[in-house]
Structures are given as C-alpha cells and as structure tokens.
Chain A
Amino acid sequence: MDGLRTILLAEDNPKDVELTLEAMAENSLANHIIVVKDGVEALEYLRCQGKYKLRKTGNPALILLDIKMPRMDGIEVLRNIRSDDKLKRIPVVVLTSSREENDLINTYELGVNAYVLKPVDFKQFIEAVKQIGSFWAVLNELPPERSQ
C-alpha cells in the first residue's frame, strides 16, 4: 500500500461529481479518485476492459455508487460485483438521493456495505463524505485480493 487507496466514484451527474470531489478536498481525503459516468463504465474499470484495458490492475478500496445512472443502474452494478469472484469483496457504499424503500431492500439483499442518503444541505453533505471517506478509505481494513 502506498497510502493512496483508490476510490471509485460512479456518478452520472457532473455537478454531483464536482460537489463530491469538493467535499473530499474539504476533508483532505487525498485518495486517488476514479470517476465513472454509468454502470457499464464502472464494470469496465473494475474488470480492466474497454478504455481501462491498460490500467494498473487492482481493486479500489471503496466504490461509491449512485443508484440512478444511465445504461446500467447502481443496483445492477452491485449485482455484478457481488456475483464476480474477483470483485465481490470490494466494499460498496451506495451514495444516492433516493430514499425509496425498494432501493434499500434491494441493495442490502445484494450485500451493500452501507447506504448513505446525500443530504440536501451542503454542510451535511461534506460531513457525510468526510465520514464515509475516513472510515472506508482510511480506517477500514481490506480483505486480501484474490490472486489471478
């Protein structure tokens, strides 16, 4: 570990991306953040496919997953991750605007590690990002990665 654990942020809205990155910066979370704009791209990154064919291998320390995304939504991404032997141990935190009961049930049944509602208030949002980042990307111990 070089101390810069990678966080994968799957979020289609550029403003949300920007605000999330701002919140990360506010909290001095110096992690390496990869941003993907939908579920398909998220899986391409995780499986080193498509435009991520040549990326350095290795799983991110955390996946921050939005639910409502074009092409493939967050629940489908989660389903794919949890049924993939190489990916299923990655901590996944859903970060979404949706408080829908069905989304909560579905994601927990699929084995999500946490479900966080994006607070409307930006100060609360910064606080939420701070807590998620410091816990999952710093405090939390990761399981050993499966060898190829």
Chain B
Amino acid sequence: MYKRVKTHDLVIAEEEKAKRASELVIANEEKGKRADELIIAEEEKAERADELVIANEDKAERADELIIANHEKDKRVAELIIANKEKEKRASELIIANKELVFQNGEKQKRADELIIANKKLAYQNEEKEKRAKELSIANIELAFQNDEKEKRAKELSVANKELQFQNIEKEKRASELILVNKEQEAFSYSVSHDLRAPLRHINGYVDLLLSRFYDSLPEKGRHYLDNIADSSSKMGTLIDDLLQFSRLGRQEKQLVDLDMNIIVHDVLVPIKHDNSERNIKWHIAKLPHVYGDQALLRLVWTNLLSNAVKFTHTREKAIIEINVLDENDSFIFSIHDNGVGFDMQYAQKLFGVFQRLHPTDEFEGTGIGLANVHNIILRHRGRTWAEAEPDKGATFYFSLPKNKEN
C-alpha cells in the first residue's frame, strides 16, 4: 500500500515542497526583512540601551549624589545630635551655673553683711587706734623722759663703775698688803717664838744656877728677889706661849668636817674631870647636834669654856655646870652655864679680848687668852660669842655656829 501513496503523494509532496520552498523563500525574505527590521530594532534597542546606559549612568550618578547627599544628611544629623547634646549639656551647665550664681549671690550678700559688720568693727578699732596712738604719744614722751633719766643713770653708773674699779684696785692693793701683813705677822710670831723666849730662858737658867750653886751664900732677901724674878720670867714664858697659840690659831687653815658635838664634849671632859677629881661637880649635858667645823679648833673652844666653868666654880662646895643647845633656824646656839662667881655685866665686852681678865690672878689663875681664842675660833666659823652673868650668881657663855656647810 504505502509506496502507491508515496508516488502520488510524492507528486503532491513535490508540489507541496515547492510551494513550501517558495513559501520558505518568501518566509526567508520575510525573515530577512524581519532580520533587518530586527537589526534596526536591535540597533534601536542598542540605541535605546545606550540611552538607557546613559540614563542609568545618570541615575547612578544621581544615586551617588543622593548617597553622598544622604551621607551628608546623616553627618548633619549626627552633627545635629551632637550639637543637641552639647546644647543640652550647656543647658544643664547653665542650670548648674545659675544655681551656683544664686548660691554665690547668697554668699555675696552674706559677705556684704559681714563686711558691714567688719566695717563697723574697723571703725571702732580705728577709734581705738587713735586713742592708743594718743596714749602712745604720751607714752613716747614719757619714754623720752625715761631715756633722759637712763642716760643720766648710765652716766652715774659709769662714774660708779670707775669708782668700783678704783675700789677693786684698792682691794687688790689691800689684799696684797694683807698678804704682806700676814707674812710680817708670821715673821713676828717667829721672832716672838725664838727671840723673845731665848732671853727669858737665859734669865730662868741663870736664876736657877744662882739659886742652886750659891743658895747658901745668899741672904734671905736676895733669895726672895730671885724667887720673884724666876716667877715673873716663867709667867712671861706662859704669856708668850699663849700669844703664840693665839696668833697661830688666827693663821691656821680650818678644815670643815661633820662633827658630833657629843663626842667632842665627852673627849674634852675626860682630862678636865681627871684633873678635878677631888671636886664635887654635877654635870648636866643635853643631847648635842652635829655641826660643820674644824675639829681641833672646836675642841679648843669647849676646852676653854668648860675649864673656865670648872675654874670659876672652885669656890663652890657643889658646882653645877650645864651644857645646852638651842636650835635657831639656820644656826645652833650652844650654852655653858655654871653656878660660879660670875662677873659684872658692865665688863662683859672685855671678856673676849686678848689678855683681858675680870678676876685677880691670885684667885683665878690664867693669862686671859682662853676666851680670846674662843672668840677668834667662833668668828672664823661665822658664829658669835657672848655671855650673861651676875656677880656671885654664875655665868652663861654662848656661842653660835651656822648650820650650813659654807662657812
């Protein structure tokens, strides 16, 4: 079957093909036409694309510009925000500043008030100052006067100083004179010791030889005269010895130590009691203090005073001798009271002089040097000596010694 259709059909298909080819030519022509048209369209399209590109470029440009503009805007906005914040800050600062100002104003007011008060005070003070200035002016005048006085006094002092200088020179002169006098005194006592005693010794020696060798050939009167010569020269020997002792005591350096007066009095009394063992003497001795003094010198004081008390009570059947002490502030006052013959107070100032005697030698022996030594020694201890008595009613001898070491 199929082949039969084909031939027929082929003719027809050929026809058809031709038709279709012509149609295709036509179509191709059409297509060319359309391709041209398309090219044109394409060209137009390219043109339009170019235009679009340009437009796009423009758009992009505009977009860029917009972006930039937007950035600008953002920046400005940010700036505005910052500016706003600044403003806010400033505003708050201003608020604070305002408050501060208000406060400061208050303070100023306060200060102003204070200043007013201060001004018033100042005004008052100024018045005071003026017053004082006036007073000062018066005081200045006073001072000027006082200065004049001072100058006057200074001149007087200068005169007094010169006087003092002169007196010092005089004192030095006197001191060196005193040293000289002391040396002379030493030479004197040396001379007394040696030169005065030698002839006395010779008198004694020859009187003695005369009496021992030629006693039998001497008349009674002659022996009596020789006795008196011997007696006098021996007395003179004692006087010289006493005088020497007195002079030595005056020159002797004193050594101050702590002394128990009880011990000194006890020691001094031992030989006195021994020498007067046949006598009836009642001793009353108070408890005595310690003193500062020279032991040897104060022993001599007690020896003299106690021997005197014994001596001047020898006419009494019962002698009473009392030793007492009085504590008187800065010194001790020692007293020796006896119930002896006493003396008349009108001669009291003679008592402590060298070789002064108130009683005849044949009644009471002694040269009269003892109390002079006592006076001398106590004086050298910066103390005093005195006595109270009544004839036939006993005597009391006193001496004081300062308590402090510096004497």
> B-contacting residues of A (Cβ < 8 Å)?
13, 15-16, 19, 22, 67-68, 96-101, 118-123, 125
Contact = CB atoms under 8 A, between A and B. Distances in A.
10 contacts: A19-B209, A97-B193, A98-B190, A100-B190, A100-B193, A101-B248, A119-B201, A122-B204, A122-B207, A125-B201
Contacts of A98: 190, 193-194
A121 B190 contact: no
B194 A96 contact: yes
A16 B198 contact: yes
Interface string B213-237: 0000000000000000000011001
B201 A97 contact: yes
B197 interface: yes
A74 to B, nearest CB: 11
Contacts, number: 57
A122 B197 contact: no
B204 A121 contact: yes
B322 interface: no
Contacts of A125: 201, 204-205
Interface of B: 189-190, 193-195, 197-198, 200-202, 204-209, 233-234, 237, 240, 244, 248
B252 to A, nearest CB: 9
B237 A121 contact: yes
Contacts of A16: 198, 201-202
A123 B208 contact: yes
A80 to B, nearest CB: 22
Contact of B201 (A19, A22, A67, A68): A19
A126 to B, nearest CB: 8
Contacts of B244: 99
A95 to B, nearest CB: 12
B204 A120 contact: yes
B201 A99 contact: no
